[in-house]
DNA sequence: CCTCCTTTTAGTAATTAATCCTAAAAGGAA
DNA sequence: TTCCTTTTAGGATTAATTACTAAAAGGAGG
């Protein structure tokens, strides 16, 4: 795990190793608060601020992807392109391979889906004009 | 406009009429704060709380749709199914008819799109089991 | 046009998420 | 080991949203 962080240009600290083991060992979707709660028993002096900074660094390094789902911000350990299903009652987030929802997404893997949101992001024509 | 609100089971108040004129007359994407800022000159005693409550009521009545775009919460006056493009620099949100982005969405209407997020929401299998 | 019940509103307080700031601590190359 | 740079903890700060409550207003029925 150390080598993986080093390969992405990140310094090694106990805090970062803990975050990496939690976030990168298997596919998860966790909010910064959830990460903080899960790690504070192991690192009692840990600060929430450190979690925010660490997740930002991991995102910039390409190790994590920040996603906005149902009004919450969570970090996803799978960075390749895929969709998500989100339960509006319990908040569960599940990965969906892009191919699984090409048509008629009203029932997906035993979910009852009643809404789909698709957002494309980038630069609008005006900002492109201004800054290339 | 009054009749439209009444048809949706909503009581008429000056605050609601002001919100309705701002949000329902033409297609807009506004956050609660933006709605509040735009109306407080007309209704000096207006409270932000009222905006939140009113937008909630309008959403429940089917007059508005709440969308989460780029980490922000905005209300969309178009309730039929469509996608959005969001500029990560200036925050502009543009409607996209669903048909316009079926394939190769990397360039849409002179935007430079570099990310797509698709979220399906509803009830997960566990919650379905529990509550039908 | 009254009356009365229910809903809505304003205002304040409380919560929550996220960022800013600074000094101390730690990483790691030479 | 030394020294420079990055990272961390902690508190302060900002912003978004919800909770609470008493007062005000809507509107149905007389």
Query: pTM of this prediction?
Result: 0.86
- Could you read off the pLDDT of B27-85 as tens digits, one per residue? 999 999 999 999 999 999 999 999 999 999 999 999 999 999 888 999 999 998 888 88
B87: chain A residues, CB-CB within 8 Å? 121-124, 126-127
More confident residue, A120 or B107: A120
Q: What confidence tier does B132 reach under pLDDT thresholds 50, 70, 90?
A: low
Tokens of A3: 């080598």
Tell me how many degrees the CA angle B94-A56-A119 measures, rounded to the nearest 5: 20
Q: Which domains does chain A have, with CATH numbers?
A: 2-131 (1.10.10.10)
Closest in B96, B101, B120 to A108, CB measured: B120
Closest in B71, B88, B122 to A112, CB measured: B122
Residue A49 CB lies within 7 Å of the nucleic strand D: yes
Q: Average model confidence (pLDDT) for chain B?
A: 86
Mean pLDDT in residue range A100-114: 61
The CA-based dihedral angle spanning residues B68, B69, B73, B74, taken in that order and rounded to the nearest 10 degrees:
-110
Tell me how many degrees the CA angle A113-B106-A111 measures, rounded to the nearest 5: 10
More confident residue, B55 or A120: B55
**Res A106: pLDDT:** 53
**Res A90: pLDDT:** 76
What percentage of chain B exceeds 70 in pLDDT? 88
Among A124, A126, A128, A132, the residue to mutate for chain B (most B Cβ within 10 A)? A124
pLDDT of B119 > 80? The answer is: no
Q: Average model confidence (pLDDT) for chain A?
A: 86
Which 8-state DSSP code applies to residue B6?
Answer: H
What percentage of chain B exceeds 90 in pLDDT? 56
């Amino acid at each position: 795990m150390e080598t993986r962080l080093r390969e992405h240009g990140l310094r090694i600290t106990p805090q970062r190793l803990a975050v990496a083991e939690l976030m990168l060992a298997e596919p998860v979707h966790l909010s910064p608060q959830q990460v903080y709660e899960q790690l504070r028993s192991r690192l009692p002096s840990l600060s929430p601020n450190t979690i925010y900074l660490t997740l930002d660094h991991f995102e910039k390094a390409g190790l994590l992807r920040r996603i906005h789902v149902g009004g919450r911000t969570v970090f996803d350990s799978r960075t390749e392109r895929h969709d998500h299903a989100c339960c509006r009652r319990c908040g569960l987030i599940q990965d969906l391979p892009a191919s699984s929802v090409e048509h008629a997404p009203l029932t997906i893997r035993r979910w009852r889906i009643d809404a789909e949101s698709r957002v494309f992001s980038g630069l609008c024509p005006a900002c492109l004009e201004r800054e290339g």
